[in-house]
């Protein structure tokens, strides 16, 4: 590598972040190595027809998006060029993008007539083309005075006009849909056309080129269909960029050793006429092997070298005064907060060691430039440019090659996001990883790769971009990006092509890389499938992510998504089955985690041994509740009906608090109150689900609702009268037979309890009946509270019996209670865990027999225990009352597997197949 816009070695000036003036030593000469047998005679020519030793007249890479005004980049900065109806597509002779032209769309490039594209004594060009159909012009100057065209038989014809007239040379037919390297030249009485190293040549007179009097300039791709890349024009009679040390560009030698070093030096011709090329390569063809000399301008050299200077502490240099406090940069060690020497003689070797010909030059330049801006706290620092350049640098890793197809789409989508927290975060993350890649470290990049590819796929798809912006809005820091990357990495199955193999190897330097920049490290990946599989899998993953994110379109605070994502990742890492891990990838898990908070969600699933229903059930039903708790979110789902406002409030303040608060602060989850509140939440969601699917009677009109019931009795004269009032708090109130859903009128009252019926003996493993299982159903004694000898107030046995009695009072609707006329339903949770299980049929039978009895008459003896039910006789009127299914067991697992409709399962588990749901439920709950 040589600095090509200077002829003498020197020092590039660089003002460091602390104000120190640093001189960065650069060379204008270097060595190339020639290998062979002793005594072998050979000839070395600097420059080939396709990569000449010349400064271009004009140069188009044709691999970058158009500017906003429709112009394409011309690297010398000498010729403004407009593009019409071209497409930037993923197709390139090596790797990357190219322009696609279609004659049906009238695609072409156009530049004005200027003298710099019309040399008079000689001219040459080089271009890569991939024709799709026959016919059309690859390029034309001055209305065809100098042109290359595709013929009807797919051959190429190169045409020039000179003082003696028109001259042409034609190639053999080209294969369509394949890339071809094409170069041509009019020089010293020869007209040459070279296609893929095959030379076609004709003798012509050596008269002056004639461009006529037309005002037409340069056009590219008119009436042509196919791809074009890397178009450059040269004047073969211009001065060479580099020469051997004797000033020649051609050298014959006889090898005295198996390796001979030849010195090449800059001729100072890079940008000698005010151009702005920053890098070129000069081809050398030695015994059929292509090798290159890298030529860079001093500006690019300074950017690269100054970055390397900040990155390394050259030994032996004195410290200089730190004039400005240095704030550490994520990817540059803070040890470099001090200045060392005002001259760094090792700059050239550091640049050669740092740069690989595999890294896109433009991206490397931009990356270094932005890194320096960041170090110096320069206002020109642009996190967007840093991020995009860094992502392109990643593509030197073979497994990251699919990113080449996506970076341009990302640029287009992310450019308007400049200034958003997301871009600052992305710039910081990519800066760290770009530094890793330059230093041959690829592990962290490979961890980030699934996210980058999926995001790129979303950027390519116009329908997915709305979801991509939801992801963008959720990110406010570098940590958020790493959380998303972890989530997407965990979201990929182990046998998936994007579950990347981190087996990286260092390759020995090749002659090609040594001649250009010195040794090069590259990544070697043993991916399980080819790149098409990777891209297809990324497309599938992006479609899934699009669907997931779309559910949160109306989420007021998008940054809450990161909390859900982080929780899901932690839960996935602890998932014991692949089915549950897969379910945790869904938007259901994100919704559930956001609803109850990260700590509660993770601890809840971590301690699933104490749960009385499967974790998947909890996630699905919680996600359903969350989606119906926010009207803004609910409107985004077809057929979605939100909870009433009071129900939403109580779900959060009452049920969530009772069900999950303990899980936030301790790993000891599973107290009876927690389980009861969780069961209540599940029954709320199941009934609302039934209502949403068409059963209006199951609309949840209130939860934790308190009603005052009148009790009637008789005085000593036998006159019936109001003798008292009792409050009854109902777990869930459904609309019932009241079509309007008015609270307190003909509703259905639901009582839910999660009770232990049996406990396992820790020594013998045998089940024994819980001592409280039968005592709980004792008859009510009318005393609301009792006081122990120590003065402690407690609820006496019979409180459950009292609740059921009061429900019967409301159900019968005697006298002033007729407004209620409520239907009643009690559910006891059916479950089985390792050490405890719910009621069985015998215990339910016992509970029904107990609960059907009337309360005791003591101490009031006024008949309130039967008159309030509208009975005339205490014993005979209650004989025929049977509890039956009013008190029953309810297994959520059985409901999911046997009773829930397909529509209900879709709402709870979305696209999860039924057989997978069955596997989720196989755990014993």
Query: pLDDT tens digit string along 89-131?
Result: 888 887 668 999 999 999 999 999 999 899 999 999 999 999 9
Number of domains in the chain: 5
Separation of alpha carbons 796 and 783, rounded Å: 8
Angstrom distances, CA of residue 431 to CA of 206, 307, 469: 54, 13, 22
- The domain boundary, picked from 323, 349, 375, lies at 349
118 and 153 share a domain?
yes
Is residue 547 in a domain?
no
Domain finish residue from 324, 349, 374 = 349
For 856, the domain range is 706-782+794-890
Half-sphere CA count of 334, side-chain side, radius 13 A? 5
Phi, psi of 465 (to 5 degrees): -70, -30
578-589 burial code (b ≥16 CB/10 A, e <16)? ebbbbbbbbbbb
Q: Look at residue 475 and tell me if it is in a domain.
A: yes
Same domain, 879 and 851: yes
- Give 325-388 as a DSSP string: PPPPBTTB-GGGGSB--SEETTHHHHHHHH--TTS-HHHHHHHHHHHHHHHTT-TT--HHHHHH
Task: With residue 408 as reference, give the H or E element that holds it.
Answer: helix 407-414
CA distances from 595 to 188, 562, 656, 701, 780 (A): 79, 13, 9, 21, 39
CB contact set of 580 (below 8 Å; sequence gap of 6+): 615, 616, 920
Sheet (strand 21-26) strand order:
10-15, 21-26, 343-344
- Please check whether residue 690 is in contact with residue 841, taking contact to mean a CB–CB distance below 8 angstroms: no
Token digits of residue 79: 């010729």
Do 80 and 203 lie in one domain? The reply is yes
Q: Are 672 and 754 in contact (CB under 8 A)?
A: yes
Cα dist. 868→112, 192, 820 in Å? 101, 112, 13
Structure tokens that stand for 627 in this block: 């989606």
In angstroms, rounded to a whole number, what is the distance separating the alpha carbons of residues 116 and 127?
A: 18
**Whether residue 223 sits in one domain with residue 208:** yes
Structure tokens at 47: 């420059």
Beta-bridge partner residues of 160: 146, 167
What does the DSSP 8-state code read for residue 240? P
Is 462 found in the same domain as 389?
yes
- What residues contact residue 363 under an 8 Å CB cut-off, 6+ apart? 388, 389, 390, 392, 393
- Measuring CA to CA, which residue among 376, 831, 308 is closest to residue 610? 831
d(CA 742, CA 701): 8
* Same structural domain, 710 and 844: yes
161 and 205 belong to one structural domain: yes
The answer on 227 and 102 residing in a single domain is yes
Residues in the chain predicted with pLDDT less than 50, given as ranges, are 316-341, 354-359, 494-532, 534, 793-795
- Is residue 11 in some structural domain? yes
Question: Residues 778, 793, 776, CA angle at the centre, nearest 5°?
Answer: 20
pLDDT at 343: 64
Which residues are within 8 A (CB) of 299 and not within 5 positions of it... i.e. 6 or more apart?
Answer: 278
Note the pLDDT of residue 503: 31
Residues 822 and 858 occupy one common structural domain: yes
Q: Are 179 and 163 in contact (CB under 8 A)?
A: no
Distance CA 842, CA 247 (A): 106
User: For 282, phi and psi rounded to 5 degrees?
Assistant: -110, 125
According to the model, what pLDDT value does residue 331 have? Answer: 34
Which stretches within 526-629 are classed as H helix? 531-550, 560-573, 578-583, 587-596, 598-606, 615-629
Q: What is the pLDDT of residue 848?
A: 94
Whether 520 maps to a domain, the answer reads no
pLDDT of residue 361: 53
Residue 214 counted as domain residue: yes
Tokens of 855: 């309360």
Residue 899 DSSP one-character state = I
pLDDT at residue 310, as a whole number: 64
Q: Which helix (H) or strand (E) holds 864?
A: helix 864-867
For 628-693, the three-class secondary structure string (H helix, E strand, C coil) is HHCHHHHCCCCCCCCCCHHHHHHHHHHHHHHHHHHHHHCCCCCCHHHHHHHHHHHHHHHHHHHHHC
Tokens in use for 344? 């760094």
**Rounded to an integer, what distance in angstroms lies between the CA atom of residue 538 and that of residue 175?**
32
- Per the CB < 8 A criterion, the answer to whether 922 and 828 are in contact is no
Please tell me whether residues 770 and 824 are part of one structural domain: yes
Instruction: Give the chain's end-to-end CA distance (angstroms, integer).
Output: 70
pLDDT at residue 334, as a whole number = 29
Q: For residues 492 and 489, give the distance between their C-alpha atoms in angstroms, rounded to a whole number.
A: 6
Task: Tell me whether residue 902 is in a domain.
Answer: no
270-to-53, 114, 240, 276 alpha-carbon distances in Å: 10, 20, 9, 9
Q: How many CB atoms lie within 10 A of CB 842?
A: 10
Of 677, 618, 689, 619, nearest to 651 (Cα)? Answer: 677
Q: Is residue 897 part of a domain?
A: no
Nearest to 548 by CA among 587, 521, 506: 587
Q: Is 737 exposed, middle or buried (0-12, 13-18, 19+ CB in 10 A)?
A: middle
d(C-alpha 215, C-alpha 198), whole Å: 34
Q: Domain of 208: which CATH number?
A: 2.60.120.200
Q: Which residue has the tokens 């958020």?
A: 480
Distance of alpha carbon 342 from alpha carbon 24, whole angstroms: 9
Q: List Cβ<8 Å contacts ≥24 apart for 696-699.
A: 696/735, 696/739, 696/741, 697/734, 697/735, 697/736, 697/737, 697/748, 698/734, 698/735, 698/748, 699/734, 699/735, 699/741
* pLDDT tens-digit series, residues 511-563: 222 222 222 222 233 333 444 454 555 566 677 788 888 888 888 888 889 98
In which element (H, E) is residue 515 found?
helix 511-516
CB 589 within 8 A of CB 619: yes
Distances (CA, A) of 548 to 308, 623, 911: 43, 12, 11
Task: Tell me the residue ranges of DSSP E strands in 349-505.
Answer: none
> Is 147 within a domain?
yes
Report the 10 Å Cβ neighbour count for 618: 23
Whether residues 77 and 220 fall in one domain: yes
Q: Which helix (H) or strand (E) holds 393?
A: helix 383-394
Per-state percent for the chain, helix, strand, coil, to nearest 5: 35, 25, 40
> How many helices (H) and strands (E) are present in the chain, helices listed first?
27, 37
Domain boundary among 633, 662, 694: 694
Residues 749 and 616 in one domain: no
- Collapsing DSSP states into helix, strand and coil, what is residue 695? coil
């Amino acid at each position: 590598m040589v600095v090509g816009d200077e002829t003498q070695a020197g020092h590039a000036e660089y003002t460091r972040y602390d104000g120190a003036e640093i001189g960065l030593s650069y060379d204008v000469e270097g060595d190339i190595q020639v290998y062979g047998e002793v005594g072998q005679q050979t000839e070395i020519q600097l420059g080939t027809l396709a990569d000449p030793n010349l400064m271009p007249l004009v140069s188009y890479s044709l691999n970058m998006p158009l500017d906003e005004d429709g112009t394409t980049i011309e690297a010398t900065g000498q010729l403004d060029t407009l593009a019409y109806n071209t497409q930037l597509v993923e197709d390139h002779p090596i790797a990357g993008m190219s322009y696609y032209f279609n004659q049906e769309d009238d695609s072409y490039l156009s530049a004005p007539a200027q003298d710099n594209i019309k040399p008079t004594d000689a001219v040459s060009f080089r271009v890569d083309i991939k024709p799709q159909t026959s016919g059309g012009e690859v390029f034309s100057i001055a209305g065809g005075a100098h042109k290359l065209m595709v013929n009807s038989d797919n051959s190429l014809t190169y045409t020039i006009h000179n003082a003696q007239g028109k001259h042409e040379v034609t190639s053999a037919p080209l294969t369509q849909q394949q890339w071809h390297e094409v170069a041509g030249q009019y020089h010293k009485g020869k007209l040459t056309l070279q296609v893929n190293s095959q030379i076609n040549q004709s003798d012509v007179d050596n008269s002056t080129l004639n461009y006529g009097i037309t005002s037409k300039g340069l056009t590219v791709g008119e009436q042509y269909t196919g791809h074009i890349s890397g178009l450059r024009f040269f004047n073969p009679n211009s001065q060479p960029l580099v020469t051997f040390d004797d000033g020649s560009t051609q050298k014959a030698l006889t090898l005295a050793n198996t390796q001979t070093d030849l010195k090449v030096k800059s001729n100072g011709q890079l940008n000698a006429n005010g151009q702005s090329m920053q890098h070129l390569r000069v081809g050398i063809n030695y015994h059929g092997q292509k090798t290159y000399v890298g030529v860079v301008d001093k500006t690019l050299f300074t950017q690269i070298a100054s970055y390397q200077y900040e990155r390394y502490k050259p030994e032996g240099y004195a410290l200089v005064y730190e004039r400005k406090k240095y704030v550490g940069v994520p990817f540059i060690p803070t040890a470099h907060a001090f200045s060392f020497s005002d001259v760094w003689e090792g700059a050239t070797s550091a640049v050669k060691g740092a740069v690989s010909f595999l890294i896109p030059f433009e991206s490397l330049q931009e990356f270094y430039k932005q890194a320096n801006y960041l170090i110096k706290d320069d206002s020109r620092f642009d996190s967007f440019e840093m991020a995009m350049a860094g992502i392109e640098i990643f593509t030197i890793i073979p497994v990251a090659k699919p990113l080449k197809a996506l970076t341009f789409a990302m640029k287009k989508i992310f450019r308007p996001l400049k200034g958003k927290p997301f871009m600052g975060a992305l710039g910081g993350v990519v800066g760290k990883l770009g530094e890793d890649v330059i230093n041959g470290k690829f592990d962290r990049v490979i961890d980030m790769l699934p996210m980058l590819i999926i995001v790129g796929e979303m950027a390519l798809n116009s329908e997915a971009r709305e979801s991509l912006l939801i992801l963008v809005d959720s990110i406010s820091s570098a940590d958020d990006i790493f959380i998303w990357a972890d989530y997407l990495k965990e979201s990929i199955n182990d046998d998936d092509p994007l579950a990347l193999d981190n087996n990286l190897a260092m390759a020995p330097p090749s002659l090609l890389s040594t001649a250009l920049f010195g040794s090069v490290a590259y990544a070697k990946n043993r991916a399980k499938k080819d790149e098409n599989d990777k891209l297809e899998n990324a497309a599938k993953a992006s479609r899934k992510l699009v669907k997931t994110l779309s559910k949160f379109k109306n989420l007021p605070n998008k940054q809450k998504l990161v909390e859900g994502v982080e929780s899901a990742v932690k839960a996935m890492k602890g998932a014991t089955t692949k089915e549950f891990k897969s379910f945790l990838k869904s938007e259901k898990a994100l919704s559930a985690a956001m609803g109850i908070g990260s700590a509660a969600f993770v601890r809840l699933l971590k301690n699933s041994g104490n749960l009385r229903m499967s974790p998947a059930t909890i996630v699905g039903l919680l996600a359903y509740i969350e989606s119906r708790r926010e009207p803004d979110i609910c409107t985004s789902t077809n057929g979605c009906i939100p909870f009433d406002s009071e129900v939403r409030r109580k779900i959060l303040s009452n049920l969530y608090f009772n069900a999950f608060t303990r899980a936030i602060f301790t790993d000891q989850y599973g107290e009876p109150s927690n389980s009861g509140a969780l069961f209540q939440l599940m029954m709320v969601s199941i009934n609302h689900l039934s209502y949403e699917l068409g059963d209006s009677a199951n609309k949840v009109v209130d939860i934790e609702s308190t009603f005052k019931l009148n009790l009637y009795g008789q005085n000593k004269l036998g006159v019936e009268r109001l003798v008292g009032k009792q409050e009854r708090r109902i777990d869930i109130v459904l609309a019932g037979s009241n079509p309007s859903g008015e609270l307190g009128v003909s509703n259905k009252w639901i009582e839910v309890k999660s009770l232990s019926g049996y406990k396992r003996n820790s020594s013998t493993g045998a089940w024994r009946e819980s001592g409280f299982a039968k005592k709980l159903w004792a008859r009510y004694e009318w005393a609301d509270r009792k006081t122990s000898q120590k003065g402690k107030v407690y609820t006496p046995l019979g409180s459950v019996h009292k609740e059921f009695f009061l429900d019967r009072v409301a159900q019968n609707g005697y006298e002033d209670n007729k407004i209620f006329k409520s239907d009643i339903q009690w559910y006891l949770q059916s479950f089985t865990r390792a050490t405890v299980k719910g009621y069985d049929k015998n215990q339910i039978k016992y509970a029904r027999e107990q609960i059907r009895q009337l309360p005791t008459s003591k101490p009031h003896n006024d008949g309130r225990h039967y008159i309030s039910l509208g009975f005339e006789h205490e014993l005979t009127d209650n004989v025929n009352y049977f509890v039956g299914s009013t008190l029953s067991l309810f297994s959520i697992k059985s409901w999911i597997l046997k009773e829930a409709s397909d529509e209900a399962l879709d709402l709870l588990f979305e696209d999860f197949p039924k057989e997978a749901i069955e596997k989720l439920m196989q755990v014993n709950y």
